[in-house]
Amino acid sequence: MQRADILQVADGGGIMPDWLPPILGTLDIAAFAALIIGVMWNARETRRSTYINLETEALNIFRFEAEHRAVLARIFNEPEDRPVDLDDEETVVANNYFLQILNLFEIAVRLRSRGNLDPMIFGTWVSWFLEVSEMGWFRRNWPDYRLHYSPDMRGIFDTYFRTVPDLSIPFEERRKHFFEAAAKQMRCRTVRKWLDNA
């Protein structure tokens, strides 16, 4: 085949009908659009699956809490001025409870920082973070726990504990400080505005 013949074939002369290139162009666009839709659908399904897995693991923590309610009830109800005294086995239960929660929080923080957790869902988790931060056992043991977690995770609790070193100010103020710390650390407008409609 001569160079002129190759150019004529490339131009559509003689081999490809004139109506075929526009159709092929349209098919390329359709295939690309289908690819984009598939990627978006897959991302959405991945986020949904991740959320379901996160919530399922939260249910496991609630089961753990129910199984060890005698020990954990003492922690939940301890007066701030009289820390509960736990034996070695009870201490293991308490630490396991808080470390399981912190591991889930860490996952939620990482997912949110990567844009894989809806800000509204993350806001509900921030409420749970706050509940945990109100417990004396957790506050006393946070310095031992903190190095096992990411800077974002540490940033939320560290900022809050610096701002609110004890529970002497009213709960509404503590809650406001906590949401501000979480919103700032995670750069999340939804969390920043969370209490506006509370």
Our CA angle for 91, 164, 138, nearest 5°, is 10
CA distances from 167 to 30, 170, 171 (A): 60, 8, 8
23: pLDDT strictly greater than 70: no
Which band of pLDDT confidence, cut at 50, 70 and 90, is reported for residue 31?
low
Average pLDDT of span 40-56: 67
Considering the chain, what percentage of its residues have pLDDT values greater than 90? 57
123, two tokens: 């806001």
- Scanning the structure block, which residue is given the tokens 């945990």? 132
How far apart, in whole angstroms, are the C-alpha atoms of residue 165 and residue 198?
A: 24
CA 140 vs. chain centroid, Å, equals 25
pTM: 0.73
Higher-pLDDT residue of 83 and 26 is 83
84: pLDDT strictly greater than 80: yes
Average pLDDT of span 101-123: 90
- Do 191 and 126 contact (CB within 8 A), yes or no? yes
Which pLDDT value is given to residue 4? 46
Q: What backbone phi and psi angles, to 5 degrees, belong to 143?
A: -60, -30
